[in-house]
A and B are shown apart, each in its own frame.
Chain A
Amino acid sequence: MGSSKDEQRTRADFSQRYATERTTALEDIERRVIGAAWAANGFTTVRQANRLGEIVELAPGKHLLDIGTGQGWPGLYLAKRTGCRATLTDMPLEGLAAGLRRGQRERLDVTGAVVASAKALPFAPESFDAIIHTDVLC
Protein backbone atom coordinates (compact mmCIF):
# COMPACT_ATOMS: atom_id res chain seq x y z
CA MET A 1 0.00 0.00 0.00
CA GLY A 2 1.41 3.36 -0.97
CA SER A 3 2.08 5.92 1.74
CA SER A 4 0.59 9.39 1.81
CA LYS A 5 2.72 12.42 1.05
CA ASP A 6 2.66 13.32 4.74
CA GLU A 7 3.96 9.87 5.64
CA GLN A 8 6.66 10.22 3.01
CA ARG A 9 7.77 13.58 4.37
CA THR A 10 7.74 12.27 7.92
CA ARG A 11 9.74 9.22 6.93
CA ALA A 12 12.32 11.34 5.09
CA ASP A 13 12.63 13.72 8.03
CA PHE A 14 13.09 10.98 10.59
CA SER A 15 15.43 9.00 8.33
CA GLN A 16 17.70 12.02 8.32
CA ARG A 17 17.42 12.37 12.10
CA TYR A 18 18.19 8.70 12.69
CA ALA A 19 21.25 8.97 10.50
CA THR A 20 22.67 11.55 12.90
CA GLU A 21 25.58 10.23 14.90
CA ARG A 22 24.70 9.30 18.46
CA THR A 23 27.24 11.14 20.56
CA THR A 24 27.93 11.09 24.28
CA ALA A 25 26.61 14.65 24.44
CA LEU A 26 23.28 13.62 22.90
CA GLU A 27 23.00 10.63 25.19
CA ASP A 28 23.73 12.78 28.25
CA ILE A 29 21.02 15.21 27.17
CA GLU A 30 18.57 12.37 26.73
CA ARG A 31 19.33 11.05 30.21
CA ARG A 32 18.72 14.47 31.71
CA VAL A 33 15.50 15.06 29.78
CA ILE A 34 13.72 11.70 29.86
CA GLY A 35 15.74 9.67 32.32
CA ALA A 36 17.62 7.21 30.11
CA ALA A 37 19.54 6.95 26.84
CA TRP A 38 17.54 4.82 24.42
CA ALA A 39 17.64 7.06 21.35
CA ALA A 40 14.41 8.80 22.30
CA ASN A 41 13.66 12.18 20.81
CA GLY A 42 10.06 12.71 21.88
CA PHE A 43 8.15 13.36 25.05
CA THR A 44 7.86 9.95 26.71
CA THR A 45 9.84 9.88 29.92
CA VAL A 46 11.13 6.75 31.60
CA ARG A 47 8.40 7.14 34.19
CA GLN A 48 5.74 7.20 31.48
CA ALA A 49 7.33 4.27 29.69
CA ASN A 50 7.20 2.31 32.94
CA ARG A 51 3.54 3.22 33.28
CA LEU A 52 2.79 2.02 29.76
CA GLY A 53 4.50 -1.26 30.57
CA GLU A 54 2.48 -1.64 33.76
CA ILE A 55 -0.79 -0.92 32.00
CA VAL A 56 -0.24 -3.67 29.42
CA GLU A 57 1.20 -5.99 32.09
CA LEU A 58 4.50 -6.74 30.44
CA ALA A 59 6.41 -9.71 31.84
CA PRO A 60 8.70 -12.52 30.64
CA GLY A 61 6.87 -14.50 27.99
CA LYS A 62 4.69 -11.62 26.90
CA HIS A 63 5.13 -10.33 23.33
CA LEU A 64 5.05 -6.59 22.85
CA LEU A 65 4.55 -4.69 19.61
CA ASP A 66 5.97 -1.15 19.68
CA ILE A 67 4.41 0.85 16.85
CA GLY A 68 6.24 3.92 15.62
CA THR A 69 9.25 2.88 17.66
CA GLY A 70 11.83 5.06 15.93
CA GLN A 71 15.13 3.59 17.09
CA GLY A 72 13.45 1.33 19.61
CA TRP A 73 12.14 3.60 22.33
CA PRO A 74 10.37 2.60 24.49
CA GLY A 75 9.96 -0.99 23.28
CA LEU A 76 13.59 -2.00 23.78
CA TYR A 77 13.72 -0.34 27.18
CA LEU A 78 10.58 -2.22 28.24
CA ALA A 79 12.01 -5.49 26.93
CA LYS A 80 15.05 -4.94 29.13
CA ARG A 81 13.02 -3.82 32.13
CA THR A 82 10.38 -6.53 32.03
CA GLY A 83 11.97 -9.44 30.18
CA CYS A 84 9.25 -9.37 27.55
CA ARG A 85 9.80 -10.10 23.87
CA ALA A 86 9.55 -7.11 21.54
CA THR A 87 8.76 -6.56 17.90
CA LEU A 88 9.52 -3.10 16.57
CA THR A 89 7.78 -1.37 13.72
CA ASP A 90 8.02 2.02 12.07
CA MET A 91 8.59 3.45 8.61
CA PRO A 92 12.19 4.75 8.61
CA LEU A 93 14.48 1.80 8.04
CA GLU A 94 17.48 3.61 9.53
CA GLY A 95 15.81 3.83 12.93
CA LEU A 96 14.79 0.18 12.96
CA ALA A 97 18.31 -0.88 11.99
CA ALA A 98 19.71 1.13 14.89
CA GLY A 99 17.12 -0.42 17.17
CA LEU A 100 18.05 -3.93 16.14
CA ARG A 101 21.72 -3.19 16.79
CA ARG A 102 20.88 -1.88 20.23
CA GLY A 103 18.74 -4.91 20.95
CA GLN A 104 21.62 -7.18 20.03
CA ARG A 105 24.10 -5.24 22.18
CA GLU A 106 21.71 -5.41 25.13
CA ARG A 107 20.97 -9.10 24.46
CA LEU A 108 17.26 -8.46 24.39
CA ASP A 109 14.56 -10.76 23.11
CA VAL A 110 13.72 -8.86 19.93
CA THR A 111 11.73 -10.85 17.41
CA GLY A 112 12.42 -8.43 14.62
CA ALA A 113 11.79 -5.05 13.12
CA VAL A 114 9.20 -4.42 10.44
CA VAL A 115 9.03 -1.44 8.12
CA ALA A 116 5.33 -0.62 7.96
CA SER A 117 2.85 2.20 8.21
CA ALA A 118 0.73 2.14 11.35
CA LYS A 119 -2.24 2.36 8.98
CA ALA A 120 -1.46 -1.03 7.43
CA LEU A 121 0.35 -3.32 9.83
CA PRO A 122 1.19 -6.74 8.35
CA PHE A 123 0.45 -8.81 11.43
CA ALA A 124 -2.24 -11.43 11.96
CA PRO A 125 -4.85 -10.70 14.62
CA GLU A 126 -3.84 -11.63 18.17
CA SER A 127 -0.15 -11.82 17.24
CA PHE A 128 0.82 -9.84 20.32
CA ASP A 129 -0.03 -9.75 24.00
CA ALA A 130 0.46 -5.99 24.22
CA ILE A 131 0.71 -3.00 21.91
CA ILE A 132 2.14 0.39 22.69
CA HIS A 133 2.71 3.49 20.64
CA THR A 134 3.92 6.87 21.74
CA ASP A 135 2.92 10.04 19.93
CA VAL A 136 2.17 8.19 16.70
CA LEU A 137 -1.55 8.92 16.41
CA CYS A 138 -0.97 12.63 16.97
Chain B
Amino acid sequence: MALSTIVAAPGLSRSEHRRAVRLGPRATNSTRPIDTLVEAARFDAVEVTDVTSSFLETARAWHTEFAQHESELRDIIGPTWDERQKERGEIIQAIEKGLLLRLLVSGTARI
Protein backbone atom coordinates (compact mmCIF):
# COMPACT_ATOMS: atom_id res chain seq x y z
CA MET B 1 0.00 0.00 0.00
CA ALA B 2 1.15 3.52 -0.70
CA LEU B 3 -0.63 6.70 0.19
CA SER B 4 -0.29 10.41 0.63
CA THR B 5 -1.82 12.23 3.51
CA ILE B 6 -2.06 15.78 4.79
CA VAL B 7 -1.64 16.12 8.53
CA ALA B 8 -1.39 18.75 11.20
CA ALA B 9 2.27 19.18 12.05
CA PRO B 10 3.40 17.52 15.27
CA GLY B 11 4.02 19.62 18.34
CA LEU B 12 1.40 22.26 17.64
CA SER B 13 -0.36 23.98 20.48
CA ARG B 14 -4.05 23.26 20.82
CA SER B 15 -4.98 26.53 19.16
CA GLU B 16 -2.48 25.92 16.34
CA HIS B 17 -3.86 22.41 15.86
CA ARG B 18 -7.39 23.77 15.67
CA ARG B 19 -6.20 26.29 13.10
CA ALA B 20 -4.47 23.56 11.08
CA VAL B 21 -7.68 21.52 11.12
CA ARG B 22 -9.72 24.54 10.07
CA LEU B 23 -7.39 25.60 7.26
CA GLY B 24 -6.53 22.13 6.00
CA PRO B 25 -8.56 19.75 3.89
CA ARG B 26 -11.55 18.13 5.54
CA ALA B 27 -10.69 15.52 8.17
CA THR B 28 -7.21 16.89 8.93
CA ASN B 29 -7.76 16.20 12.59
CA SER B 30 -5.88 13.11 13.64
CA THR B 31 -3.43 13.57 16.49
CA ARG B 32 -1.79 10.16 16.07
CA PRO B 33 1.32 9.83 13.90
CA ILE B 34 0.53 8.29 10.53
CA ASP B 35 3.12 5.53 10.90
CA THR B 36 1.44 4.44 14.13
CA LEU B 37 -1.95 4.36 12.41
CA VAL B 38 -0.64 2.37 9.45
CA GLU B 39 1.09 -0.14 11.73
CA ALA B 40 -2.11 -0.47 13.76
CA ALA B 41 -3.86 -1.28 10.50
CA ARG B 42 -1.55 -4.33 10.21
CA PHE B 43 1.06 -3.01 7.84
CA ASP B 44 4.79 -3.58 8.34
CA ALA B 45 7.90 -1.94 6.92
CA VAL B 46 6.21 1.44 7.17
CA GLU B 47 8.16 4.27 5.57
CA VAL B 48 7.23 7.93 5.70
CA THR B 49 8.61 10.64 3.41
CA ASP B 50 7.91 14.32 3.97
CA VAL B 51 6.80 15.95 0.71
CA THR B 52 5.64 19.24 2.21
CA SER B 53 7.87 21.36 -0.02
CA SER B 54 6.22 19.87 -3.10
CA PHE B 55 2.83 20.30 -1.41
CA LEU B 56 3.48 24.01 -1.00
CA GLU B 57 4.72 24.37 -4.56
CA THR B 58 1.64 22.61 -5.94
CA ALA B 59 -0.76 24.52 -3.70
CA ARG B 60 0.76 27.82 -4.84
CA ALA B 61 0.60 26.72 -8.46
CA TRP B 62 -3.14 25.89 -8.26
CA HIS B 63 -3.87 29.23 -6.59
CA THR B 64 -1.82 31.21 -9.10
CA GLU B 65 -3.19 29.45 -12.15
CA PHE B 66 -6.80 29.91 -11.09
CA ALA B 67 -6.16 33.56 -10.24
CA GLN B 68 -4.55 34.18 -13.62
CA HIS B 69 -7.41 32.53 -15.50
CA GLU B 70 -10.29 33.85 -13.43
CA SER B 71 -12.00 35.58 -16.34
CA GLU B 72 -12.15 32.32 -18.32
CA LEU B 73 -13.05 30.04 -15.45
CA ARG B 74 -15.25 31.91 -12.99
CA ASP B 75 -18.42 31.22 -14.95
CA ILE B 76 -17.44 27.58 -15.50
CA ILE B 77 -16.69 26.96 -11.84
CA GLY B 78 -19.79 28.82 -10.76
CA PRO B 79 -20.83 30.30 -7.43
CA THR B 80 -18.25 28.35 -5.44
CA TRP B 81 -15.38 30.19 -7.14
CA ASP B 82 -14.65 32.62 -4.33
CA GLU B 83 -14.92 29.99 -1.62
CA ARG B 84 -12.65 27.56 -3.40
CA GLN B 85 -10.01 30.17 -4.19
CA LYS B 86 -10.13 31.29 -0.57
CA GLU B 87 -9.57 27.68 0.52
CA ARG B 88 -6.56 27.43 -1.79
CA GLY B 89 -5.09 30.51 -0.20
CA GLU B 90 -5.76 29.27 3.31
CA ILE B 91 -3.99 25.98 2.68
CA ILE B 92 -0.97 27.91 1.42
CA GLN B 93 -0.95 30.01 4.57
CA ALA B 94 -1.21 26.93 6.75
CA ILE B 95 1.71 25.24 5.02
CA GLU B 96 3.84 28.38 5.13
CA LYS B 97 3.18 28.73 8.86
CA GLY B 98 4.25 25.14 9.47
CA LEU B 99 0.77 23.99 10.48
CA LEU B 100 0.28 21.37 7.74
CA LEU B 101 2.55 18.68 6.36
CA ARG B 102 2.10 16.27 3.50
CA LEU B 103 3.57 12.81 3.73
CA LEU B 104 4.03 9.84 1.40
CA VAL B 105 3.59 6.61 3.34
CA SER B 106 4.12 3.02 2.32
CA GLY B 107 3.66 -0.29 4.04
CA THR B 108 3.43 -4.00 3.36
CA ALA B 109 0.34 -5.88 4.50
CA ARG B 110 1.07 -8.19 7.41
CA ILE B 111 0.20 -11.73 6.40
Residue of B nearest to A32 (CB): B65
**Across-interface contacts of A26 in B (CB, < 8 A):** 73, 76
A104 at the interface (CB under 8 A from B): no
Instruction: Tell yes or no: B9 within 8 A of A by CB.
Output: no
Q: Which residues from chain B contact A43 at a C-beta distance below 8 Å? A: 4, 6, 54-55, 58-59, 102
Taking a contact as CB atoms closer than 8 A, the residue among A33, A44, A137 that contacts B61 in the complex is A33
Q: Which residues 58-115 of A have a CB within 8 angstroms of B?
A: none
Q: Is the CB of A52 within 8 A of B62?
A: no
> Is the beta-carbon distance between B104 and A138 smaller than 8 angstroms?
no
User: Which residues does chain B contribute within 8 Å of A10, judged by CB atoms?
Assistant: 26-27
Task: Give the distance in Å from the alpha carbon of A96 to the alpha carbon of B54 in the complex.
Answer: 27
Complex-state Cα separation, A48 to B2, whole angstroms: 11
B5 touches A135 (CB 8 A): yes
- Min Cβ gap B78→A in Å is 7
* Given A135-B4, A138-B5, also A48-B54 (CB < 8 A): yes
Please measure, in the bound complex, the distance between the C-alpha atom of A130 and the C-alpha atom of B108, giving whole angstroms: 9
- Indicate if B93 sits at the interface (CB-CB under 8 A): no
C-alpha gap A43/B56 in the complex (Å)? 9
Number of B residues, CB within 8 Å of A: 34
Please count the residue pairs between chain A and chain B whose beta carbons lie under 8 angstroms apart in the complex. Answer: 89
B77 interface residue (CB < 8 Å to A): yes
**B24 & A138 in contact (Cβ 8 Å cutoff):** yes
Whole-angstrom distance between the alpha carbons of A47 and B55 in the complex?
12
B59 to chain A, nearest CB (A): 7
The answer to whether A20 touches B4 (Cβ under 8 A) is no
Query: In the complex, A26→B75 CA distance in Å?
Result: 12
Query: Is A29 touching B106 in the complex (CB atoms < 8 A)?
Result: no
Bound together, the chains give a CA A55 to CA B3 distance in angstroms of 10
A128 to chain B, nearest CB (A): 9
Q: How far is the CA of A52 from the CA of B76 in the complex (A)?
A: 32
Contact A135 B25 (CB under 8 A): yes
Contact with B along A113-138 (1 / 0, CB 8 A): 00000000000000000111111111
10 residue pairs bridging A and B, Cβ less than 8 Å apart: A6-B26, A9-B26, A10-B27, A23-B76, A29-B65, A32-B65, A33-B58, A52-B4, A137-B5, A137-B34
B positions within 8 Å CB-CB of A: 1-7, 24-28, 30, 34, 37, 51, 54-55, 58-59, 61-62, 65-66, 69, 72-73, 76-78, 80, 102, 104, 106
